Amino acid sequence: MAQPPSSSSSILHITIITLTCHFFLFTQATKNPDFHSLLAFKITSDTSNKLTSWNITTDLCTWYGVSCLRNRVSRLVLENLDLHGSVEPLTSLTQLRVLSLKRNSFNGPIPNLSNLTSLRLLFLSYNNFSGEFPESLTSLTRLYRLDLSHNNISGKIPVNVNSLSRLLTLRLDGNQIEGHIPNINLSYLQDFNVSGNILSGRIPELLSGFPDSSFAQNPSLCGTPLQKCKDVPALASSLVPLPSSSGSMPGNKSHRNGGPRMGTLVLITIILGDVLVLAIVSLLLYCYFWRNHANKMEERKEAESNSKSLEGENQKMVYIGQQGLDKGNKMVFFEGAKRFELEDLLRASAEMLGKGILGTVYKAVLDDGTVVAVKRLKEVQIGGKREFEQRMEVLGKLRHSNIVSLKAYYFARDEKLLVFDYMVNGSLFWLLHGDADHEGVLNLTQS
């Protein structure tokens, strides 16, 4: 009769199986090209061991703050974790779209980020970054949000920031930036702030539409919307004094006959010369600005045409507008839902996912990188606010594996918004027809 295995033999078998599993998980993790970059970042930046889930025995796509797309890191949100050091290891995450490192203790110059060509949202505020404005950022032409506020960045704002033609947010407040503000001409810019720096000179006219809080705490800055700049001294004070019509000058024997007549001739000559110069300058300026205006109109038309496609995909770039929204009302959240303000939703950029008989569905990306689905009920006829709230309470309690849970809603007289978690499993249309190029919200886009 066979003898039962001893306890020591069983322990050995369990140990071998455990080591084999760990080896398999480690092998799978190291196959991801972003594994070593994230691990190097943790070793140098996380001395307090806040990122406990970052270990070689788990899939890096399940690590805290990490999201993946096609097995590559696409989103990294690590805020308020007392991380420090350099972010240099993250420059190898070439498929990164969202990077948020707010409220940490990173220091030194911002490294070269030109490899992050897919980056859309970059939030590095409330750290200790120093050095000049990184030129590498101006090559990231897909950026929508750029927030470098509340650091120790110095130097000047580069003129080629205009190459970021899709930029919606540019925040540089609370730094040590000096010099003049360049003529920033970004058609889609919504959120701009350079307050609390050492800027000087006149505010460019293209930026004068932003509130005074965007330029505050710059003592040497002037122009709309701040105080007026000091007037230029009058032109008359710079003219050469004309010869006197009275008195005598040495060596002028014919003063009585020639003096007064010569003074009048000089005055007429100066006036005619000034008029001619002003006319020529005005004509040149008119031609210059008219040509620029025509070019800008063409560029704007081209930008509007290009904005209909995001990254070459068939997704329309839109914004959840403010028409019909009453800011006196508040968003109503259900239990367990992540909360945000109505203003955050209004500022969010969005992709229109589809239209149904009840309204339009958008994929909205908030400033902190949170992605939600918003259904806009424009044509729905519902009784009063109380009846609407009762219906929402019923919908908010629904829980089913095939139904996306309602997270929040907003009610105004002319506008009603429903907020759901954004699901990447496709829309009802996709499930029926198998269109793999579209992402959406399950059971929402066709309802």
The full set of domains in the chain, from first to last, is 16-222 (3.80.10.10), 316-433 (3.30.200.20)
Nearest CA-CA partner of 316 in 305, 306, 308, 325: 308
- Structural tokens at position 181: 């503000």
Q: Are strands 406-411 and 332-333 parallel, antiparallel or unpaired?
A: antiparallel
Q: For residue 165, name the pLDDT band (cuts at 50, 70, 90).
A: very high
**Dihedral pair phi/psi, residue 246, rounded to 5°:** -130, 170
Lowest mean pLDDT among 27-41, 151-165, 257-271, 361-375: 257-271
In single-letter form, the type of residue at position 346 comes to L
Nearest CA-CA partner of 401 in 370, 429, 423: 423
The strand pairing partners of 361, in sequence order, are 354, 375
What is the distance between the alpha carbons of residues 118 and 142, in angstroms, rounded to a whole number? 7
Nearest CA-CA partner of 216 in 194, 236, 235, 244: 194
pLDDT of res. 20: 43
- Structural tokens at position 203: 């505010």
pLDDT higher than 90, residue 231: no
Lowest mean pLDDT among 27-41, 236-250, 411-425: 236-250
Burial of 280 (0-12, 13-18, 19+ CB in 10 A): exposed
Nearest CA-CA partner of 158 in 146, 150, 144, 168: 146
Q: Are 203 and 193 in contact (CB under 8 A)?
A: no
Residue 223 to residues 159, 162, 215: CA-CA distances in angstroms?
20, 21, 10
What's the count of helices (H) and strands (E) in the chain, helices before strands? Answer: 6, 21
What is the distance between the alpha carbons of residues 312 and 405, in angstroms, rounded to a whole number? 31
What is the distance between the alpha carbons of residues 98 and 226, in angstroms, rounded to a whole number? 34
Average per-residue pLDDT for the chain: 77
Q: Residue 287 carries which DSSP code?
A: H
- Choice between 82 and 13, residue whose per-residue pLDDT is larger: 82
In the numeric block, the tokens 């519902």 are attached to 382
Q: For residue 301, name the pLDDT band (cuts at 50, 70, 90).
A: low
Q: Are 78 and 100 in contact (CB under 8 A)?
A: yes
Q: For residue 246, name the pLDDT band (cuts at 50, 70, 90).
A: very low
Q: Residue 63 carries which DSSP code?
A: S
pLDDT digits (tens, 9 = 90+) for 319-377: 555 555 555 677 888 876 777 777 777 777 778 878 777 788 888 888 877 888 888 87
The three-class DSSP label of residue 406 is strand
- Structural tokens at position 116: 């992050």
Strand arrangement, sheet containing 72-77: 66-69, 72-77, 98-100, 121-123, 145-147, 169-171, 191-193
pLDDT digits (tens, 9 = 90+) for 312-331: 333 434 455 555 555 567 78
Tell whether omega for the bond before 219 is within 30 degrees of 0, i.e. cis.
no
Contacts of 224 (CB under 8 A, 6+ apart): 203, 205, 208
- Choice between 437 and 349, residue whose per-residue pLDDT is larger: 349
Nearest CA-CA partner of 99 in 424, 36, 91: 91
Nearest CA-CA partner of 375 in 390, 363, 389: 363
Contacts of 72 (CB under 8 A, 6+ apart): 32, 33, 34, 93, 94, 95
SS3 assignment for 92-127: HCCCCCEEECCCCEEEEECCCCCCCCCCCEEECCCC
Residue 167 to residues 111, 140, 173, 186, 300: CA-CA distances in angstroms?
21, 10, 16, 7, 14
DSSP H helices, 307-324, are none
pLDDT of res. 339: 76
- Choice between 210 and 315, residue whose per-residue pLDDT is larger: 210
